[in-house]
Structure 1
């Protein structure tokens, strides 16, 4: 099971100002004081991340700013889209050539932590290289693997219904509420089809969205605490694949061909970004990226994923930053991370690109400037706080869930496999690879 989020810890937003800290940003008596000044001598640090052009520009802006104040440090940047990043990183670790700083989610970290490839951040904080004092205990606990702090939360987000408000208004479809149902989702898609548009993108391939569906029935993809067990059965998976197959057969969602072509494509090149699909299900923080890419042509909005199960549920997933245990520049890497998460100017550059920050001073740095899409993201987080659950670290081998969901979802879409067979294979194969 995922962990229920305490209402008091979730973000409150009103108007353009954040009125309270969030689950991710309540100041705590966490270890680490002010980061120590860097030692002398030239240093090269490699930093890697995933994303599109907007995110790349923000990372580069922060790293350029750091280098201006540290003439003896060069940050070598390695970035790619999501698919290419996760294809490259395991190969780099296997070859002993992994970056010093790298980004993960709870879905992949156990694969690296179980091999001792991730540095202890509390040890680096104790050395004075990293200040953790503004992070909440909850956000620090989310980054622990077997009681060791191995990743630091830089943004938390929620798989949500992202909709094109402009298209909704043009077609005359009501804005979806946070308590809308699957039947209402289907009804809206029918109206968009009648208007010559794609109702929704195809989401049978997305494991976080499937995990949200499971959470609505009190289940999850994997057991808590990274233990090597599944927390759903083949019937659950069959129902999931069948829901999207029915939509596709009715012409209410993205075609198999289009969904396949978009694998690994930048956000800017998707049919949703181009205004050809009215509904997408994506991490809530991506609203900022999409709105920036689309510009003034369309106005986007957010609502909860429609309720299919017994109760509403919104899954909170995190983006984290880590230090390579084998790095020859662990302390400098920690100082760069410290700058990234604690420097007000760096915080303003990055904003809410990856979602709600993990520390209170970051929230303070950006709260007075929250407008537009950023404000919508914060408002949405506050609106669904009572139904939100925190995703746990997945067990070793669980990263296969990402690619397997794509393979099976597309196989169902192309008619190469039935929903029942796909559900059985999902359970059988995941059970065989986790440990």
Structure 2
């Protein structure tokens, strides 16, 4: 299935009618409708029913329902009206609910849309609960809390952490007698390594990540820039051109796959990345996706940081839970979030489904009890990198999902040779400026 931590969602304010139909068809009938007119129900006997909305597959649904059932067992006056669906159509449905003042009390969101919903005053400011201690983030990476803050308000509680990860095929490298890549190599050293590895293994050394926004973002930070400065782009057209030229050089030396295979890597979900389909020795993903990748290949995989200065990576919230600003039961909703993030029993149930647990103590517990070797490694790598994380960037502004798709379009123009790096950079920069100003 497509990994919901990195999936690109459609713009929530477009194609609303079509999105609603698709979303409603996707909603499991047994789960009922999402939200209530007053943002949650409270009866005269003190009982509260909270509406809870998330996306994901059946496995996530089962884990989430188990964790919520555990909360109810400890707080019998609180029950949940649960709704979940697949990725597609989720944000169209959420946009419709919020437009009708019928949003769920608690809903899942990611950094593609957090700023948009926060600036539209859809999300409650959770910082009042963190200041009072009712919502404990003391065991979180500092950057993980910062990455949920929009205009000084905590718009979402991070329910999982990830960071950029370069996953490599250890088995094939060992078999060919090629040294595995190491954290700290420069970008040029990585490309040189990939060229050598390609010669010795007869496989492309590295996926071409020029269309990957997170790789570009890390490279920018290492060069003293940001992807965004507030609601403006933090880079120039010349920066994009240098990035595209770097990877044209890699393609010219055959360190990367052919354009058609690169396109396949750009377009497929995490289960079909090139490191899994044996079309490249590395894939540029999130470190916490290692277990999902490992499930889809018999080869032993490893994960390291992206090339360059690893301290320029950051604790990124894989996804958040937000509370509806119009909910009549915000205090109870905040307590539920505190429970899901910090209760050891809930942490054991949820595991790493939404990313590595934000609470570092819970993360240690999960690492100690899981028998999944890839999960252990991804937790170890992310935790080790976390010791040197720099400040988190600001949450991406409205239009970020469009910027991501425009980068893929422009990069593929260069990858296929239909445009020079200069022309492709101009195409992307113009489209990206328009997207965040729209």
Q: What's the TM-score once normalised by structure 2's chain length?
A: 0.75
The separation in 1 between residues aligned to 2:91 and 2:256, in whole angstroms, is 27
Give the aligned partner of residue 185 of structure 1: 190
**1:114 corresponds to which of 113, 119, 129:** 119
Pick one of 415, 419, 422 that aligns with 1:420: 422
Aligned ranges 1:122-137 → 2 under 5 Å: 122-123=127-128, 131-132=135-136, 134-136=138-140
Which residue in 2 is equivalent to 1:341?
341
Question: Superposition pairs for residues 91-240 of structure 1, below 5 Å?
Answer: 93-94=98-99, 99-123=104-128, 131-132=135-136, 134-136=138-140, 138=142, 139-194=144-199, 195-223=201-229, 227-240=230-243
If asked which structure has higher relative contact order (CA below 8 Å, sep 6+), I would say 1
Deviations, residues 126-153 of structure 1 (Å, cap 9, x unaligned): 999x532644583434422222221112
Which stretch shows the higher mean deviation, 86-95 or 228-237?
Answer: 86-95
Q: How far 1:261 moved relative to its partner?
A: 4.3
Match of 2:392 among 369, 390, 393: 390
Query: Gapped runs of 5+ residues in structure 2?
Result: 1-41
- Normalized per residue, the structure richer in helix is 2
Query: Equivalent of 2:284, from 277, 281, 297?
Result: 281
Q: TM-score, normalized by length of structure 1?
A: 0.76
Aligned counterparts of 2:137 and 2:79: Cα–Cα separation in 1: 25
Task: Name the SS for the 1:162 alignment partner.
Answer: strand
Contact 1:119 1:324 in 2 (8 A): yes
Per-residue deviation, 1:217: 0.7
Relative distance call for 1:75 and 1:134 in structure 2 (3 A) is: farther
TM-superposed deviation, 1:321: 2.0
Question: How far apart, in 1, do the equivalents of 2:215 and 2:243 lie?
Answer: 10
Structure 1 stretches lacking a partner, 5+ long: 1-36
The structural deviation recorded for 1:222 is 0.9
Paired residue for 1:247?
250
Residue 185 of structure 1 and its aligned partner are, at CA, apart by 2.1
Which residue of the partner structure matches residue 300 of structure 1? 301
Alignment: residue pair count:
389
